[in-house]
A and B are shown apart, each in its own frame.
Chain A
Amino acid sequence: MFGTPRPYWHPLAAGILLGLVLLATFLVTGHGLGASGLFTRVAAAFGVWTMPEATAANSYLGGFASGAPLAGWITWEIIGVVLGGLIGSLSSGRFRAKIERGRETTPSRRLAYAFAGGALVGIGSRLARGCTSGLGLSGGATLAVAGFVFLIFFFAAGFLTMRFMRRDWL
């Protein structure tokens, strides 16, 4: 339907570009790249929309609720990420409208797991004050102890969890 897709880049090439973009981000903004912060803002915006009083009174999201929760650097950045991803996937023929899953998994099971995994990542990102981008990549690049503690526990839990998830990804 979309023709033959071009292969992924060599990991070294992708890693070097990613590192240079991260370096440029530090030089331009004084901080690194992030991602989970956007979803915190989306949660705040959703809260303001559905239950404004409770959200404004909430000790975690209340700070976002006073202004426009989505107006922030990380929102512009993630709009860029999606645009860059679209340009990459469409120009390379790698775009596929589908539910990606292992062969042993039904689409409904895959979506249930995607939601559950997303919820764990959402909780984890707020506990850790960042995610793979903000703590792993950006924290790692500044040699922050916080970044390496994050990465060690991220990979350890990932390998442990795969012992129970292997069949779903075959």
Chain B
Amino acid sequence: MTWPLYDGGFWPALLLGLLFGLALEGAGFGSARKLTAQFTLRDFAVIKVMFTAVIVAAAGLWLAEAVGIVGQDSVYIPTLFFWSIALGGALIGAGFVIGGYCPGTSAIGLASGRFDALVFMAGMVAGIGLFAGVFDWIQPLYRAGQGPQGQTLDQLLGVPAIAIILAMAAMAAAAFYFGSKLEARFGGPVQVSEDDEQKSTDKYQGAGIGSQATHIGSRAT
């Protein structure tokens, strides 16, 4: 078999993107409050969904290689540049909690009617423009700490890929179990219905402080 097809055409891109969007929207990732609630431990959807998706895709790729459908080194694997990826990852983590989205979820926020997602996108474009403006000066940082070309975790640790995937599955199971416990403790996970409840408890939309206190109180249970 000749997989991957290396088909970069319009229709597969549109269809795969559409399914990607459906999954992200269904997960609740068009809601900045739900997304950021991961970081208050009230909602573990971000970790649960990402972990599950990575394991499913990793296991599928492993199986496809094991049975010879997909050749070794036939899919794109990013190369480590430690300092720029660590700093860039940290900036995206901070920006996610401040701005409410990441690039992909901002598209879902927009598709869910969120004006703040559009403003977030404008901020991203501005940030990228700023980066391009200073790119020549930060080249040394951009290229620092380069690892081996397309290195994978199993190569780094010298263990079979399936061992990594099984270890991740065990970690995911723990994340589901303890995540759900923490969600229950902090009054989560964030529900769709809160989108409408918010109006009646919002002090900037004419509701009193009293109703807020009730809301916060009920969350502590």
Pairwise interchain contact B16-A28, C-beta atoms closer than 8 A: yes
| Residues 61 to 110 of chain B near chain A (Cβ within 8 Å) | 61, 64, 70, 74-82, 84-110
Mask, A120-131, CB within 8 Å of B = 1, is 111111111111
Contacts of A20 in B (CB 8 A): 56-57, 60
Pairwise interchain contact A158-B96, C-beta atoms closer than 8 A: yes
Judged by a CB distance under 8 angstroms, whether A18 is at the interface is yes
Count of residues in A whose CB is under 8 Å from the partner chain: 128
Shortest CB-to-CB span from A16 to chain B, Å, is 6
Shortest CB-to-CB span from A20 to chain B, Å, is 6
Which of B6, B21, B48 has the most C-beta atoms of chain A within 10 angstroms of its own C-beta? B21
Judged by a CB distance under 8 angstroms, whether B124 is at the interface is yes
| Residues 18 to 35 of chain B near chain A (Cβ within 8 Å) | 18-28, 30-34
Given A125-B88, A151-B89, are A21 and B23 neighbors across the interface (CB < 8 Å)? yes
Instruction: Report whether over half of chain B's contact residues are helix, strand or loop; otherwise say mixed.
Output: helix
Instruction: Report whether over half of chain A's contact residues are helix, strand or loop; otherwise say mixed.
Output: helix
| Interface residue from A80, A97, A117, A135 paired with B100 (Cβ < 8 Å) | A117
Pairwise interchain contact A162-B36, C-beta atoms closer than 8 A: yes
A165 to B40, CA, bound (A): 10
Given A19-B57, A132-B92, are A116 and B98 neighbors across the interface (CB < 8 Å)? yes
Pairwise interchain contact B123-A28, C-beta atoms closer than 8 A: no
Given A39-B103, A124-B89, are A110 and B116 neighbors across the interface (CB < 8 Å)? yes
A interface residues (Cβ-Cβ under 8 A, vs B): 4-9, 11-33, 35-36, 38-40, 42-43, 46-47, 58-61, 73-74, 76-89, 92, 94-104, 106-107, 110-111, 113-162, 165-166, 169-170
